[in-house]
Amino acid sequence: MRISPSSLHARPVQGLRPTRFSTQDRVMGTLLFILVAVFVLAGQQALQIARQDADDALHMQASAQLAALSQAVADPAIVGDYIALQTLLKTPIAQGNLRYVEYTAPNGRVLREEAPARRADRPGWFAALAGLSIPVMQTPLVIGGSAHGSLEIQPSARSHEDFLWHLGTRLFVLLATAFALLGWLTHVLLKINLQDLTRLRAAAQRIEAGDYSARIPLRASSPPELRQTTRAFNHMSAALERLLTDLNEQREALDSTASVAESDLAGNITSANELFCSISGYAREELIGQNFRIVSSGQHDAAFFNDLWETISGGQTWRGEICNRARDGRLFWTAKTIIPIKDDDGQLLKYLSIHFDITQRKLNEAALSEEKERWQVTLQSINDAVIVTNARNQVDYINPAAEVLLGVALEDAVSNPLKILMQLDQWGDDDAPACFLSATPALHGQTGSAQLQTRSGHHLAVSYSCAPLTGLGGIGAVYVLRDETEKKQLLDNLREMAFHDTLTTLPNRRAVEGRLARAMHTARDQTQQHAFCYIDLDQFKLVNDTCGHSVGDTLLMDIALTMKAALPDHAYLGRLGGDEFGLILFDTQPAVAIQVCRQLVQRIRDFRFEHKGRRFTLGACAGIAPITQDATTPGGILVQADMACYRAKSEGSGRVMLYEADEVGFRRLEAEMGCAADFVQALEANQFLPYRQRIQPTSSSGQPHYEVLIRWQRNGVVEGPAKLLPALERYGQAPILDRWVLETVIAYLAAQPDDNAVYFINLSGKTVADESFLGTVCHLLDHYGVAGERLGFEVTETAAVVNLEDAQRLIHGLRERGCQFALDDFGRDASSFFYLKHLPADFLKIDGAFVRGMLDDHRDQAIVRSIAQLARDFGMNSVAEQVENAKMAALLRDMGVDYLQGYHIHRPEALPRWQPVTGTRPTHAPHLISID
């Protein structure tokens, strides 16, 4: 909404625009008035002089005529000839010099002659204007001393009036001509010199029309005062243009931030800007002519509006906050200013309303009020002591918990310095909190612990936190105190428990790791050498499973006492968890550590434990890791000792082994650990490749089979699983790989419907024991639409025997879906016909160690032949692994082996046309390759 030029310039332009006469007219009128006055005064003065002269001449003429007439009538008067007298009296009348003449005889007879009335050539009013004094002259006729009557005459002023008339007309013509010439010259001069006023009027009219750039050129020929006036007008126009530009910019800024409306004295809206329409939701056409009640919300009472109208109707500005209702029913708040607009006489014309939208501020204030109330309730209800201070660290507020903790009421605490209300002392290694004692609040957040001395003399352990608080009153702070006395007592009790095993009272794993870190520190700084021993009990699980965990706990306590009694003074023994113990031998060489561990293992072996008539003998293995200057972390030492113990345990019970970084077995074990650590990343990067090796039937009627193998494409080289599988078995990651292979093979079979071979997948022992694996297989078969007859599974004899019930459940479940089952590496371990009887496998795979040596060893031939016969007797098919040449294949056929597998039959190859499984995984089964 822009500023109307007419509204701003109506009054100034009216002052510049002539209302009736122009300047030139006024000058000419004034001049004419002066000239007329001069003319009148001059004519009057001339007429006065001429009248005086005419009066004098008239008297002289009358005197002369009277004297002449007296002489002429003397004789007739003496004789009393009245006829002669009458004739003589007519003579001067006829000459036109007298108006009348009258003779009075002594006897009283009167003879009178009057001049006849004649029409004059001049106006009748001129005689009155001339105002000549016509005398009446009388003289007695005394002749010879005798009176003969009297003579009276009145002269005629006609000739003198004619003279004055002719004189006046000539003088008038002369003066009128002179005055007309003077007026014309004045008019010309004014017209020439007042052209700047015309341009000034034209420029003012342009400004009135809205052209604020109008300027008047300065002329050198203009009078100085007009040049000054023109220059002042141009300055005024430029200033006005700048002022209007600024006003329009301010108006635009106001329109963009505030809603503006005007109303008449009755409150009816006469104009509204776009923002007012936008906020109210009404179009401008809907608002114009409507009363402001159209946006009334009903939230304010009558007294509110009475005060408003009383203020503005009295000519005063009203300011306040008002709630309105938009067209859609939405409430909105505005900070409103109503300004009465008055005319020049001080009478009210209209009202100007300026509104700033404060709806969000009102919502924020309401939310803040609710939040404040909520926090006040919260502060009232929490158990922590809360103290709020001002910029001088004087108390502004304390909650009830602080009243109880400090022993002072709120009204007594307010305005008191914080340091007067409490006394904090140093607690432990923490410094006393200076922020509580300072005359100014904390500038930064602080936390800590201290000891609080209450007014009653009690000492309480407290934890505190303080944070700066900024506001209108300056910087304050919020302090929170929590009574930690009971917690500290509990922590003191738990601290001892945290570093000791509750069962054996030995130091726990955390304490051992802490002491191990100290040992590494002394080894690094003082060049000392220590040893860490990892001790793992054997056959402890048998006691737990047979007698129960409570008995196992008793056994652990007795073993701990036995071990502790056998150790030297400089040894530090702790329980790492389960049946595993950690031993730190300070300032001990590896050879001495080996000797100590052997004695300790022997003491454990000699220990006898009896329960309800049963006697149990335990064993133990120990791994030793030297602690030298090169030691890295406590975790690394634990891993080294664990690896040594694992190696010792793999060689049999009662072994002790020292970790040697360069020893082949440890390097291989570390390599396996590295494989296990890289397994997850390799699986996510699709580095594993599925291969297959054909299992060839020895008869033409047999169905071809394939065993699925795994290769690892790492660092550009395809590696076999020799290092990977033992690591996955050891660290429990083998089921992850089994599930990946399962989905990979089923997806591949779904993509190869014409492939009628059976693909066998190897399963780890933990996968066999996993109750959810059977459901996963069934779900994948259904998801990909693959028949179970196209799928087979292999499990080692050892894994099946260890998990017999799980293996039976899995085999029965898989065979119900049409899947086949093979017992792998049969004959490697001490087999049991009882187990074989309860494992309904479809195939017995003869361990390759027997097949490789059967050409040179008749015993291997006998074993292979007996296993093949055993398979037939159990209704199973036999499979010979690692068939390396044709002679070996022929011998196996002669023995009646049903299937052959080996490099002579088929070298492993990648699955043809295989693509990694991508896209959406089945959602109704556990994730197939999720990392547990």
pLDDT, one tens digit per residue, over 293-336 is 888 888 899 889 899 999 998 889 999 999 999 989 889 899 99
Torsion angle of C-alpha atoms 679, 680, 681, 686, degrees rounded to 10:
80
End-to-end CA distance of the chain: 70
Q: For residue 673, what pLDDT is reported?
A: 66
Segment 592-599 shows an average pLDDT of 91
Could you report the per-residue pLDDT of 507-529, keeping only the tens digit for each?
A: 988 888 888 989 888 888 888 89
DSSP, residue by residue, 43-100: HHHHHHHHHHHHHHHHHHHHHHHHHHHHHHTHHHHHHT-HHHHHHHHHHHHHHTSEEE
H helices of 147-292, in order, are 158-193, 195-208, 224-257, 274-280, 284-287
> According to the model, what pLDDT value does residue 398 have?
87
Highest mean pLDDT: which range of 459-468, 588-597, 630-639: 588-597
Q: DSSP code of 317?
A: -
Report pLDDT digits (tens) over 193-232. Answer: 777 777 777 888 888 777 877 787 777 777 777 778 888 8
Distances (CA, A) of 593 to 411, 531, 586, 928: 71, 7, 10, 46
Higher pLDDT, 666 or 504: 504
Is beta strand 137-143 parallel, antiparallel or unpaired with respect to 146-155? antiparallel
Residue 136 predicted with pLDDT over 50: yes
pLDDT (0 to 100) of residue 746: 93
Give the residue-averaged pLDDT of 809-813. Answer: 90
- DSSP code for 295: G
- The total of other beta-carbon atoms located within 10 Å of residue 333's CB is 21
Q: How many CA atoms lie within 13 A of 392 on its CB side?
A: 7
- Distance between CA atoms of 441 and 476, rounded to whole angstroms? 6
What's at 515, amino acid-wise?
A: R
Mean pLDDT confidence for 539-559: 84
The pLDDT value given to residue 926 = 36
Q: Measured between alpha carbons, how far is 413 from 421 in angstroms, rounded to an integer?
A: 7
pLDDT on residue 918? 58
Q: What is the DSSP letter of 757?
A: P
Distances (CA, A) of 443 to 406, 418, 438, 492, 682: 24, 15, 11, 33, 52
| Segment 424-450, tens digit of pLDDT | 776 555 555 666 666 667 667 788 888
Strands (E), 578-613: 580-585, 608-611
Residue 465: enclosing H or E segment and its boundaries?
strand 459-471
Determine the pLDDT at residue 761: 94
Rounded distance between C-alpha atoms, residue 241 and residue 234, angstroms: 10
Greatest mean pLDDT among 20-34, 674-688, 764-778: 764-778
Q: Distance (Å, rounded) from C-alpha 413 to C-alpha 455? A: 13
pLDDT above 90: percentage of residues in the chain: 18
Assign 661 a pLDDT band (cuts: 50, 70, 90).
Answer: low
The answer to whether 657 and 647 are in contact (CB under 8 A) is yes
* DSSP bridge partners of 152: 102, 138
Which pLDDT belongs to residue 831?
Answer: 53
- Please count the other Cβ atoms lying within 10 Å of the Cβ belonging to residue 481: 25
Least trusted range by pLDDT, from 9-23, 530-544, 796-810, 896-910: 9-23
Q: What pairing do the DSSP bridges indicate for beta strands 619-627 and 843-846? A: unpaired
Q: In this model, does residue 930 exceed pLDDT 80? A: no
Return the pLDDT at 456: 73
Split at pLDDT 50, 70, 90, the class of 931 is: very low
Report the C-alpha gap between 557 and 562 in whole angstroms.
9
Given pLDDT bands bounded at 50, 70 and 90, which one contains residue 461?
confident
pLDDT at 317: 92
Instruction: Provide the angle, in degrees to the nearest 10, between the axes of the packed helices 634-650 and 664-684.
Output: 110
- Average of per-residue pLDDT across 815-839: 78
Give the pLDDT score at 662. Answer: 65
Residue 382, pLDDT above cutoff 90: no
Segment 676-709, tens digit of pLDDT:
666 777 777 787 889 999 999 998 877 889 999 9
pLDDT in the model for residue 664: 58
Beta bridge mates, 450: 462
For 278, 357, 360, 423, the CA distances from 256, given in Å and listed in that order, are 11, 11, 17, 58
Look at residue 921 in the predicted model and tell me its pLDDT: 42
Mean pLDDT of 269-277: 89
**Residue 254 carries which DSSP code?**
H
Q: Which residue has the higher pLDDT, 155 or 14?
A: 155
**Average pLDDT, stretch 124-137?**
75
pLDDT tens by residue, 96-117:
778 888 888 888 888 888 888 7
pLDDT of residue 83 exceeding 50, the answer is yes
What are the tens digits of pLDDT across the range 231-260? 888 888 888 888 888 877 777 777 777 888
Mean pLDDT, the chain, rounded, equals 82
What pLDDT does 901 receive?
Answer: 94
State yes or no: pLDDT of 610 exceeds 50. yes
Asked if the model's pLDDT at residue 17 lies above 50, the reply is no
Window from 30-34, 91-95, 334-338, 916-920 with minimum mean pLDDT:
916-920
pLDDT of 146 > 90? The answer is no
| pLDDT above 60: residue 129 | yes
Report pLDDT for 928: 37
pLDDT for position 698: 92
Range scoring the smallest mean pLDDT among 72-76, 157-161, 598-602, 686-690: 157-161
Q: State the DSSP H helix or E strand holding residue 537, giving kind and residue range, or none if neither.
A: strand 530-538
Which pLDDT band, with edges at 50, 70 and 90, does 888 fall under? very high
pLDDT band for position 13 (50/70/90)? very low
What DSSP assignment string belongs to 760-794?
EEEE-HHHHT-TTHHHHHHHHHHHHT--GGGEEEE
Mean pLDDT over 477-488 rounds to 84
